[in-house]
Amino acid sequence: MRFVYPYGKRKALTFSYDDGQIYDRRLAGLFRSAGMKGTFHLNSGHLGPSGENDIFVGSSELAQVYEGQEIACHGVQHRNPTTLTRQQLLLEIQEDRKMLEQLTGGLVQGMSYAFGNYDRDIIEIIRTLGIKYSRTVQSTGDFFPPADFLEWHPTCHHSDRLAELGERFLNIADYYELPVMYVWGHSYEFGQSGDWSVIEDFVDKMAGKEDIWYATNLEICNYILAVRAQEFSADGLTAHNPAAVSVWVETRAELLEIKPGETKYIGER
Ligand SMILES: [Zn+2]
């Protein structure tokens, strides 16, 4: 047997875009209209009042711009984590969480490292602050979920073999368990050049696939953490799901949902 994504989907696709510039409006709209989900990492100290000449998305339009997408931290002022004292880092992240949560009314538990910079100390500090995952800028060119979500290396930047990796992902080898294609970038890279073709072509190619789960960074993180939290009987044939979300198991004969708190036989019948 093996774990699969919700409703038996074999793989997950997600996006991670930083800095909250106004071009996010078009990018979030593109994802939404294709039934896809991305995560937008915002600097709460940069959010504009949504005036005509603003560089950044306005705080009053967050709900509308990012509808159906995830909002996550990137630091209040986009300061480099590795140059801050521990106290400064704590404020940079904790205050970002607080402000974004006040503006959106939900929990903000995701992050990406400003400038892609982090170290062991920083990981432990943000873990303490209730951050569940944080994205780096080191591309793997692959689809394995991370060992530690606070060091979540993306598959690729959108300028780096996106079409080729997308093709590989569509025809992914069967041995991958819970593969995820994780694309990152900044919407201003499209907005400033006016050339959106790389991301539009990719979204076109990847949209509407039966076997892909289109999810936010946090949804994928929560799902994989739930799978990793499963408990098994000594013979491995009964599973208990202590997590807050259902997990899905594919056996040779059937697809099984193990609901939160449920104990279920998962052997062959
Ligand atoms: Zn940034």
pLDDT beyond 80 at 3: yes
> Domain spans of the chain?
10-226, 229-265
Whether 219 and 180 have beta carbons less than 8 Å apart is answered as no
- DSSP H or E run through 84: none
Contacts of residue 207, Cβ cutoff 8 Å, sequence gap at least 6: 34, 35, 36
Band of residue 95 on the pLDDT scale cut at 50, 70, 90: very high
The phi and psi torsions of 185 (rounded to 5 degrees) equal: 170, -160
Give 238-259 pLDDT, tens digit per residue. Answer: 999 999 999 999 998 899 999 9
- If you measure from the C-alpha of residue 239 to the centroid of ligand 1, how many angstroms do you get, rounded to a whole number? 41
Amino acid (1-letter code) at residue 47: L
Q: How far is the CA of 42 from the centre of ligand 1 (A)?
A: 8
Nearest Cα residue to 172 out of 202, 206, 196: 206
> What's the CATH number for 10-226?
3.20.20.370
pLDDT band at residue 171, thresholds of 50, 70 and 90?
very high
Percent of the chain with pLDDT over 70: 99
- What pLDDT was estimated at residue 51? 65
Tell me how far apart the alpha carbons of residues 182 and 186 are, in angstroms, rounded to a whole number. 14
Give the start-end residues of each E strand in the chain.
Answer: 2-4, 11-18, 38-42, 70-73, 110-112, 133-135, 156-157, 180-185, 212-214, 231-232, 238-240, 247-250, 255-258, 263-265
Task: Tell me the angle at which helices 86-104 and 120-128 cross, rounded to the nearest 10 degrees.
Answer: 40
Q: How far is the centre of ligand 1, averaged over its atoms, from the C-alpha of 9 (Å)?
A: 32
Place of tokens 């960074």: 217
Give 152 Cα–ligand 1 centroid separation in angstroms.
15
CA of 11 to the centre of ligand 1 (A): 27
CB 144 within 8 A of CB 171: no
| CA 170 to ligand 1 centroid distance, Å | 29
Q: What pTM was computed for the model? A: 0.96
Model confidence over 174-195: pLDDT tens digits? 899 999 999 999 999 999 999 9
Q: Compute the distance from residue 105 Cα to the ligand 1 centre, in Å.
A: 23
User: What is the distance in A from the centroid of ligand 1 to the CA of 56?
Assistant: 12
pLDDT confidence of residue 52:
67
Among the listed residues 9, 8, 11, 12, the one whose alpha carbon sits nearest the alpha carbon of residue 255:
8
Round to whole Å and give the CA distance between 184 and 178. Answer: 19
What pLDDT does 4 receive? 97
| Ligand 1 centroid, distance to 158 Cα (angstroms) | 15
User: How far, in Å, from the CA of 260 to the mean position of ligand 1?
Assistant: 36
Confidence bin at 134 (pLDDT 50/70/90): very high
* C-alpha 167 chain-centroid distance: 20
- Residues by chain with Cβ below 5 Å of ion ligand 1: 18-19
> Beta strand 231-232 with 238-240: parallel, antiparallel or unpaired?
antiparallel
Give the span between the Cα atoms of 257 and 8, in whole angstroms.
9
CA 169 to ligand 1 centroid distance, Å: 27
| pLDDT for residue 32 is more than 70 | yes
